[in-house]
């Protein structure tokens, strides 16, 4: 079977526009039907993000995953490196358009050279992505503290969901009768808020957290 190339786009929020990433993938030759777009925070691990989980299932040995930047896989260095290793274990080639060495087809016997250079670059760029996240969170916290001191901070509006629906379906979800993605859709929650809701409910019913 011929190699299949998939493009992946991630924006942290619905307000962010994916046009720049889309153009980069189009310019590289990836058609719309092979591009998956996700609006989800990179702080959530890839396997726990709905659209990226779908992409993982599509990828087969010999396929390529094309992204415009390494932080599309995640924002934490450990998560990025874990995902890179996962793709390698599936023998899926990762092409990062902002890392030119990943776009080069290595000559016979030269694979190890490009692999070594790519590993170093991924290490550097993953560190930068994580540092940017840390700095962004630092600025956010500083801004909140200033707003609090001025009496302007009202906090985030709590995300509403059907608590009775959660209670009714919780045991079925725990037993595997319904999938996590189905449970999330029933509650109208994204992965991060879903797991927070589950944690809160389990505290209420006295379920001890897994060690």
CA distance 145 to 139: 10
Catalytic residue among 12, 41, 53, 98: 12
Examine the residue annotation and report whether 41 is marked as an active-site residue of this protein.
no
State the angle between helix axes of 180-187 and 50-58 in degrees (0 to 180), rounded to the nearest 10: 150
Residues 6+ apart with CB under 8 A from 139: none
- Which residue stretches of the chain are H helix? 19-27, 50-58, 77-89, 111-149, 163-174, 180-187, 191-205
Distances (CA, A) of 8 to 11, 70, 92: 10, 11, 14
CA distance 115 to 102: 8
CA distance 8 to 36: 5
Residues with a catalytic annotation lie at 12
């Amino acid at each position: 079977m011929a190699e299949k190339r998939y493009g992946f786009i991630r924006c942290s929020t619905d307000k962010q526009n994916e046009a720049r990433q889309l153009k980069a993938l189009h310019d590289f030759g990836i058609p719309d039907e092979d591009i998956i777009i996700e609006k989800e925070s990179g702080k959530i691990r890839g396997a726990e993000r709905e659209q990226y989980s779908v992409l993982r299932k599509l990828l087969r040995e010999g396929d390529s995953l094309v992204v415009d930047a390494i932080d599309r896989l995640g924002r934490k260095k450990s998560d990025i490196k874990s995902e890179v290793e996962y793709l390698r274990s599936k023998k899926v080639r990762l092409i990062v358009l902002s890392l030119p060495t990943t776009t080069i087809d290595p000559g016979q016997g030269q694979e190890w050279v490009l692999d070594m250079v790519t590993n170093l670059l991924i290490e550097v760029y993953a560190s930068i992505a994580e540092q940017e996240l840390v700095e962004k969170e630092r600025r956010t916290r500083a801004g909140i503290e200033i707003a609090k001191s001025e009496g302007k901070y009202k906090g985030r509006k709590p995300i509403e969901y059907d608590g009775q629906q959660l209670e009714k379906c919780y045991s079925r979800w725990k037993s595997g009768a319904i999938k996590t993605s189905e449970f999330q859709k029933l509650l109208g929650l994204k992965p991060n808020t879903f797991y927070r809701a589950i944690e809160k409910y389990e505290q209420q019913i006295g379920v001890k957290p897994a060690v």
